[in-house]
Amino acid sequence: MEKKRILTGDRPTGKLHIGHYFGSLKKRVEMQNSGEYDMYILIADVQALTDNFNNPDKVRKNVREVAIDYLSVGIDPSKTTIYVQSMIPETAELTVFYSNLVTIARLQRNPTVKTEIAQKKELFGESVTYGFLGYPVSQAADITTFEGELVPVGEDQEPLIEQCREIVRKFNNIYGEVLIEPKAVLSEGKRIKGLDGNDKMGKSLGNAIYLSDSEEEITKKVMSAVTDPNRIKKDDLGNPDICMVAYYHNLFTTKEDVKIVCEECKAGKRGCVACKKQLAKNIIEELKPIREKRAYYEAHPEEVDKILIEGTNRAREVAKQTMKKVKKAMKLDYFE
C-alpha cells in the first residue's frame, strides 16, 4: 500500500521551544517512526518574510536553527524530507494560480490571519500587506504541491488547513479532480502555557524554554516561574492549580511524583524553591538527548547544509510532477 503523504513545517523566525515540542514536533517524530507515512517538512522562509520582509537576516539565520531543531528532536533525514520553501519555485507558481480561487473577504475572515494582523499593528499600521493577507493561499500551495494528505500542526493552524481544503475543492470543481484535500492532525497535548502563566509560550513574551537552552538557562527560567502568589512561607497551604511549576511538573514529572508534589504543596509541606529545583532537573533530563544532538549539528554545519540540499532536491522532483498535472488541468500545458 502507498504510504500516506504528510506535509508540515514552521516559519523560521526563531528557535523552537517546548511549546512547539509538545504542540507538534513530538507528534511528527512519532508519525515518522511509525513507518506508515512519507513525510515532508518545509522550512517556510517565504512565509516568514510575509511578516519579516524588513528583516531578511533574521529569516536566513533561523533556517539553519530550525533545521537543527528538527534534527535534534529526532527528525531523521533518511526517513523524512526536510526542504527550504523558497527553493521550490513550483509552490510560488501554484500560489499565483490559487489567488484566483480565493476572495479578499474570505482571507480577512480567516481567524488565524485576523488574530495575527491584530498582533502586528506595529508592523502593518492601518493596512496589511497583500503578501501577509494572502499567506494562507501560499500555505495551501505548500501543502498541495506535495499532495499532502495529513498536516500535523498546532491547533492555531486549523483555519489555514480549512482554507486550503476550500481552495482544493474549488480547483477540482473548475479544472477537474487533480488535487488532494488535506486533513489537519492535531496533537493530543494542548497548547503549552508560558512560564509566566500566559496562555501562549512565545519569544516576544519572554516566557519560553527553548530546545537549545543550556542547563543553566533552564534552571534560571524555572526559578523565575510564577507560583501560587498566596504562599509566602513553606508551611502556608498551597494551591497547585494556580502554580506554573505544578503545571510543568505535569509535563515533565512522573505521575506518582506529580501526586506527591500536589499533596505536599496543599499540606504546606513543600518549599517552592525545592519544588522548582526538582522540576528544573526533570526538564534538563528530558531535553538532554535533544541538547546533545544539537551540539553535534552545531559543530557540523556542513552536514546540516547537505541534509537541506538533498531534501530540497528530492522535494523539487515531487513538486515538478504535481505542477505538470496542474498545468495540464488548467490548459497551460503548451507545446507538450
Site residues (vs ligand SF4, CB under 6 A): 227-228, 231, 238, 240, 243, 245-246, 261, 265, 270, 272, 275-276
C-alpha cell at 262: 500536589
Run of H or E including 297? helix 272-299
Residues that bind ligand TRP (CB under 6 A): 7-11, 42, 44, 47, 139, 142-143, 151, 153, 157
CA-based nearest residue to 143, from 72, 207, 71, 85: 85
- 281 burial via Cβ count (<10 Å: 0-12, 13-18, 19+): middle
Comparing every residue's Cβ against ligand TRP, the nearest one is 44
Beta partners for residue 184, in sequence order:
151
CB of 89 to ligand TRP, least distance (A): 16
Helix (H) or strand (E) holding 158: helix 158-175
Query: Residue 259 region, left (φ>0) first, then alpha (ψ -120 to 50), else beta?
Result: alpha
Q: Which is nearer to ligand TRP, 9 or 134 (CB)?
A: 9
Q: Which is nearer to ligand TRP, 58 or 281 (CB)?
A: 58
Measured from the CB atom, the residue of 141 and 243 that comes closer to ligand SF4 is 243
Name the binder of 10 from ligand SF4, ligand TRP, none, CB < 5-8 A by kind. ligand TRP
**Residue closer to ligand SF4, measured from CB, 232 or 299:** 232
* Beta carbons within 8 Å of 48's beta carbon, 6+ residues apart: 11, 12, 13, 59, 62
Q: Output the smallest distance, CB 285 to ligand SF4, in A.
A: 18
Question: How far apart are CB 218 and ligand TRP at their closest, in Å?
Answer: 24
The interface partner of residue 44, options being ligand TRP, ligand SF4, none and the CB cut-off 5 to 8 Å by kind, is: ligand TRP
- Residue number, 131 or 271, with CB nearest to ligand SF4: 271
Rg of the Cα atoms in the chain? 22
If contact means CB under 5 to 8 A according to the sort of partner, which of ligand SF4, ligand TRP, none does residue 24 touch?
Answer: none
- Least Å distance, CB 261 to ligand SF4, is 6
The single-letter code of the amino acid at 219 is: T
| Cβ distance to ligand TRP smaller for residue 184 or 284 | 184
Residue keyed to cell 491584530: 118
192 binds, among ligand TRP, ligand SF4, none (CB under 5 to 8 A by kind): none
Alpha-carbon distances of 16 from 64, 69, 201, rounded to whole Å: 12, 7, 11
Closest CB 126 distance from ligand SF4, rounded Å: 44
111 vs 324: CA distance, rounded Å? 33
Could you tell which of ligand SF4, ligand TRP, none binds residue 322, using a CB distance below 5 to 8 A set by kind?
none
In the complex with ligand SF4, which residue's Cβ is closer, 212 or 227?
Answer: 227
50-56: long-range pairs with CB below 8 Å, 24+: 50/129, 50/131, 50/132, 50/135, 50/138, 51/13, 51/116, 51/120, 51/123, 51/132, 52/13, 53/129, 53/131, 54/123
* Shortest reach from residue 220's CB to ligand SF4, in Å: 16
All three cell numbers of 52: 519579516
Cell 527560567 found at: 221
CB of 245 to ligand SF4, least distance (A): 4
Q: Please say which residue, 20 or 270, places its beta carbon nearer to ligand SF4.
A: 270
In whole angstroms, what is the distance from residue 99 CA to residue 113 CA? 16
Q: Which of ligand SF4, ligand TRP, none lies near 20, with the C-beta cut-off 5 to 8 A by kind?
A: none
Q: What are 176's three cell numbers?
A: 477537474
Return the one option of ligand SF4, ligand TRP, none that residue 7 interacts with (CB less than 5 to 8 A, by type): ligand TRP
Instruction: Work out how close the CB of 277 gets to ligand TRP at its nearest, in angstroms, rounded to a whole number.
Output: 34
Q: Which does 227 bind (CB under 5 to 8 A by kind): ligand TRP, ligand SF4, none?
A: ligand SF4
